Amino acid sequence: MFFKRFYDEDLAQASYMVGCQKTGECLVIDPIRDIQTYLDEAQAQNLRVTHVTETHIHADYLSGGRELALATEAQFLVSDEGGEGWEYTYSTPNMQKLKHGDTFMVGNVKVEVRHTPGHTPESISFLVSDTPRGPEPVMYFTGDFVFVGDIGRPDLLDEAAGGQDTRFKGAKDMFHSLKTQFVNLPAYVQVWPAHGSGSACGKSLGAVPSTTVGYETDLSWWGRYVKNDDEQGFTDELLSGQPDAPLYYGRMKTQNRDGMAVLGEVAPLPELSAAEANAKMEAGVMLIDPRSKEAYHAAAPQYSINLPTPNKLETWAGWLLRPEDRDYLLLAQSAEQAEDLRRRLWMVGLDNVVGFVKSVDGLDTKAVPPIQPAEVAQHEGALILDVRNKTEYQDGHIPGATQLHAGRVAWKLDELPKDRPIIVHCQSGARSAAAASFLGSEGFKVLEIAGGFENWEKQQPEQVERD
């Protein structure tokens, strides 16, 4: 049996290839939209992608399942669980719906479908057996059901997709799924989840790539609750302390359910002159500037947003940019960098990139230097906007600050003042650079606190409030 894990560090997202080397067939689980990585690996291993599947309707990124299945003419296998409102509403060639207990073969590799609701009602997991070695399961691909050190949060639908108290039913389902579809498996079965540390799909995901059924059952925070059949204690702890959910999750969930756009063959991005870029930006196109925040502060182009690479371009783009609002340009030093940035934006459904410009030279720019904590008092009447997570805010915040997670700013513009300055900060200055530049591009009077709350606490420790 062939096995490989693919991992996107930005969104902390894992996808997998499982193959039978004897028959030359392979399955890809939870693929991203940049499908070339799977095509290249399959070719390198002399495998054919014959099956593509998803563990659930994803909310944090746009799935590449349909794209990969069409490109390879593979069977596209998706959940048929969850009930009304949770079915895939689109059809595509070779699409097949899966129910709990279904099995299929990828060469000599057997895959059994387990319905594991909790994170979402339609969630399924895949229990894999390498049949030449024996009938026993060896790997469990759990999606957002069980992570390393945590389990999938059941409140995302309430937090980001307009649900009403779905968290309580989700928590109940999760408890039942753990009791019936996890802890009764052999302890040695390897667990390979869809996310790692840094994902907002849980609150305490581990950094190592995999775990085992036995380890999680015996040592996870939830294990004792399941062992003691304490559903209420489990629910209380599961729902407490979950981080803010970015509101773009609602768009991702809808697009993945109703059918994401197929990219197909994509033409190279055109390079624009400074004059052409200025004209497009005057007409409403936004420039995505991936330089460091220091470089951006020194020369910020008009109608631009600063998404410093390489760490969080996809995450922050999902947080702040809405493809239905406008088209986008990229600032990139080369055509190769532009294509790399473009492919990363596909992860969060930002397909409408219309070109790139190599330099800020010739663009309309201005300096936007951050201010020091001591200067905040000079801006009487300003709104101090804390774009950190609510749990960070509760641990300590600037007196009078309003907390609004950066992943919610783009949906709350009508609640922010345009008649007075907004002083933006996060923990250290990275997230606030993105949020402040976005607000500036939307016409708000924006300032940033240099070094964020960490710098404020260091310079003015007596001026910190804690909830």
Q: Are 413 and 443 in contact (CB under 8 A)?
A: no
DSSP helix/strand/coil, 12:
coil
Please give the structure tokens belonging to residue 399. Answer: 């007196």
Place of tokens 């309309």: 364
The whole-chain average pLDDT of the chain stands at 95
* 221 C-beta neighbours (distance < 10 Å), count: 15
- Structure token digits, residue 353: 């990139």
CB 127 within 8 Å of CB 146: no
- Top pLDDT among 311 and 11 is at 11
Q: What predicted TM-score, i.e. pTM, was given to this entire model?
A: 0.94
Which of 314, 313, 384, 383 has its CA nearest to residue 349? 314
Average pLDDT on 401-422 reads 96
Per residue in 77-118, pLDDT (tens digit) is: 999 999 888 899 999 999 999 999 999 999 999 999 999 999
């759990």: which residue's tokens?
142
Q: What is residue 185's predicted lDDT score, i.e. its pLDDT? A: 98
Q: Give which of 123, 131, 122 is closest to 104, Cα–Cα.
A: 131
Catalytic residue among 20, 26, 201, 426: 426
Residue 426 catalytic? yes
Buried b or exposed e, range 204-215, using 16+ CB within 10 angstroms: ebbeeebbbbeb
Cβ neighbors of 143 (< 8 A, separation 6 or more) are 30, 55, 56, 116, 119, 123, 124, 125, 152, 193, 194
- 108 to each of 44, 133, 140, how far by Cα in Å? 20, 10, 17
Residue 241: pLDDT band by 50, 70, 90 thresholds?
confident
pLDDT 10s digits, 190-211? 999 999 998 888 888 888 999 9
Output the six-digit token pair for 222. 């939830």
> Exposed (0-12), middle (13-18) or buried (19+): which is 84, by Cβ within 10 Å?
exposed
User: What is the pLDDT averaged over residues 327-344?
Assistant: 96
- Give the pLDDT mean for 149-162: 83
Distance of CA 314 to the CA centre of its chain: 8
Q: Which residues contact 152 (CB under 8 A, 6 or more apart)?
A: 118, 119, 120, 123, 143, 144, 145, 146, 174, 201, 202
